[in-house]
Amino acid sequence: MQLHSLKPKFILIIVSLSLFVGLATLATFYLSSNSIIKGFALRFATKEALLEKNKIMSLIDREVVLARKMADDPTLKRWAVHEEQPELKREAFEELESYRRLYRDKSFFIALAGSRHYYVYNKEQGHDRVELTTLSSGNPMDKWFFEALRNQDGYALNLDYDSTLKQSKVWINVIMKGRQGEKTGICGGGITITDFLNEIVFSHEKGLSTMLVDQSGIIQAHEDRAIVEHNASARSNDKKITVFSLMDLPDEREHLKQAISDLKSSKNEVAAFPVLVGGKVFLAAVSHLQGIGWFNVVLVDVSQVFSMRVFLPIIAIMLLSFLLIITTLALLMNRMVLVPLTRLTVASREVAGGRYDIAVPVTGRDELGELSGSFNRMAAMILDHTANLEMKVRERTDQLSSANRMLEESQNRIMESIKYARIIQSSILPDDELCRSCLGDNFVIYRPKELVGGDFYYLRRFPGHFLLAVIDCTGHGVPGAFMTMTVNAVLNHVVDMVCNDDPARILAELNRVLRRNLNFRDVDAGLDIALCMVDRDSRRLVFAGAGLSLYLASAADVREIRGDNQRVGYKGSRLDYTYRNHEPAINAGECCYLTSDGLLDLPGGDKGYGFGAERFRTLLAGTAGDTMQSRGEMIAQVLSDYQGDFPSRDDMTLIAFRL
């Protein structure tokens, strides 16, 4: 690599500046931020845990002392043993009223072991009186009373839902004892969930979250009121939400369990460690609330607690460093790269605009100098080739334009011819008035694959009866349309000259005439047909078919009258073949359907399979109770929905009527 080349100059300058600024910035950032964040975050979390602990204990201690004094009151202890004596009850209620005024929420409760009577002052519901209920060991809502008598000896805090007060509280339960130390009842007060959460849990500082848990990790207080109310209402500990269930990683759950065990044994005053909760990293600080057996868990979101202003000096240094780099690089690139490239850019625009007699100055021997020389040589070559090339392009463009105009004119003539052919083909189809007068209640679905097609339907009226047919000629599009015109003329000749009341004979004669008059050499053409002779007055229907069937549908059944397998007009069709007439009995309400195989082959569904005969029979049965007009609309919609975006394979014709 030559020393005067542009590449080594840029590499040397960029690497030197990047290393110098990058190393200085990283060293400054690491030294000033790492120790600050770790130390301050740990001290902050520990301080908050101790602060919350003192706040909680100051709130609860007073209530606990008052409840214990209430449990040791001589008047209440005598009344607990002799509840039925009126004088003792009056004195006891006077004492209870004095305690009530001292409690934080101006209420109390007392439950007696002998009678199982539960007295509670219900001010929260607006009653402002002492209410009495009887506790039952079979009632899950009273489970707290019997478990406390069995397992509790002093006092305990309990988050529970009181069915009498119809509210959740943090209850202070204190055991009452008689002279011999026997348990005579439980008394105490409570702190409503709202007050407890407002003073203890809801932190006014952004990024802090406080919760209280018991020794098993069951949440007693949380900023999410739904969790607290759920745990207060749940009768079984297995159904209560624990702090461990909120943590994402199993190792951190075990760490928290170990921290609770250590704090309970007074090994530490506060335990702090990082945890992952809801996909987010927090610094957790845990402290033990001695005397009540609960634990205070404080979650600190370091990203919200610590302001970015701490790192403003570091950010300022980084900005200044990068500004210095950018400024230096900009000056160097402008002088060494941008000015020569600007000249090349302007010259390139001139060449793109059609000016090829242009050259740029070559100012050096580096890559940009070589590029400038190459550009000048390229411009000279383009100038030399342009004169000849423009002439050739102009000639070729004129030829293509002329060919496109001829092609467009030819396509327009073809489309006009096809549209006119459609008008001609439509003239052989029976009009609506003839259909109504002969068929009565009917509908027709006629969908050629292209503008014209090889399907058509035929209707001729004679004295006392009429002929109806659905005909599927070989091919579709323009070839199929020619076949329909030929077949329509031959069929009219047959019914006019031979007979008009014998479908089987008509098919045999139609086959004979087409075989003798269609002289195809390279193709084999013919038709499938379903032909009916109908006498409406006598409700008589005679059917003959070649490749197509007659369907009779009612609410109870769908019958298919199959035509002969011998098709009409093909080279393999026998001239001596005798077609069969079918004269089915027409039941009241039955509808007659004639269809070409284009409907049965209609592609659709998930994989483009044909609609099929079974699906068609099911469709006819499902429309048996409707009018013919509504049947036609429904069947057309079902076919469109089934087809979806698949293109049609063939022409499709369906005609239906009811005798």
DSSP 294-348: EEEEEEE-HHHHS-GGGGHHHHHHHHHHHHHHHHHHHHHHIIIIIHHHHHHHHHH
Q: What would the two tokens of residue 326 be?
A: 């950018």
Domain 341-398 has CATH 2.60.40: no
Nearest 5 degrees, angle CA 524-CA 469-CA 540?
140
- Taking 50 as the pLDDT cut, the residues of the chain under it are 1, 126
- Tokens representing 306 are 């610590």
For domain 60-193, give the fold.
Beta-Lactamase (3.30.450)
Closest to 275 measured CA to CA, from 295, 307, 298: 298
Global pTM reads 0.43
Quick: pLDDT tens for 442-498: 999 999 988 888 899 999 999 999 999 999 998 888 888 888 999 999 999 999 999
Q: What pLDDT was estimated at residue 551?
A: 95
Give the pLDDT confidence score for residue 331 in this predicted structure: 67
Sheet holding 294-300, edge to edge: 219-221, 208-213, 294-300, 280-289, 270-277
Q: For residues 556 and 625, give the distance between their C-alpha atoms in angstroms, rounded to a whole number.
A: 10
- Where, residue-wise, is CATH 1.10.8 in the chain? 341-398
CATH homologous superfamily for the domain 196-308 = PAS domain (3.30.450.20)
User: What is the structure's pLDDT at 106?
Assistant: 83
What pLDDT is recorded for position 245?
85
pLDDT at residue number 612: 92
What residue ranges of the chain are covered by domains with CATH 3.30.450.20?
60-193, 196-308
Does the domain at 428-658 match CATH 3.60.40.10? Answer given as yes
What is the model's pLDDT at position 123?
65
Strands 652-658 and 591-595: antiparallel
Q: Which of 43, 47, 293 is nearest to 159 (CA)?
A: 293
CA 175 to chain centroid = 56
The answer to whether 119 touches 131, Cβ cutoff 8 Å, is yes
The reported pLDDT for the residue numbered 459 is: 95
Q: Please, what is the angle between helix 6-71 and helix 312-333, to 10°?
A: 160
Identify the residue whose tokens are 């049609």. Answer: 648
CA distance 575 to 513: 9
How far CA 602 is from CA of 555, 558, 598, in Å, comes to: 25, 20, 6
